[in-house]
Amino acid sequence: MRRIVSETEVRPHQLVLPVFVREGLTASQPIASMPGVEQHSIESLRAISARAAAAGLGGIMIFGVPAVRDALGSGATDPEGILNIAARAVADEVGESLVVQTDLCLDEFTDHGHCGILDAEGRVDNDASLERYAAMAVAQAEAGAQLLGLSGMMDGQTRVARAALDEAGFTDVALLAYSAKYASAFYGPFRDAVESALEGDRRTYQINPANAREGLRESALDIEEGADIVMVKPALAYLDVLRRVADASPVPVWAYMVSGEYAMIAAAAQNGWIDGDRAQLEALVSIRRAGADAVLSYAALDLVERKLVS
Q: Are 71 and 110 in contact (CB under 8 A)?
A: yes
- Catalytic one among 162, 233, 244, 288? 233
- Catalytic one among 181, 202, 244, 288? 181
What is the rounded CA–CA span in Å between residue 94 and residue 305? 17
Is 181 an annotated catalytic residue?
A: yes
Q: Are 40 and 31 in contact (CB under 8 A)?
A: no
The values of phi and psi at residue 116, to 5°, are: -145, 180
Burial of 242 (0-12, 13-18, 19+ CB in 10 A): buried
Give the contacts of 42 (CB within 8 A, at least 6 positions apart).
21, 85, 86, 89
Cα angle vertex 159, ends 66, 141, to 5°?
45
Which residues are tagged catalytic? 181, 233
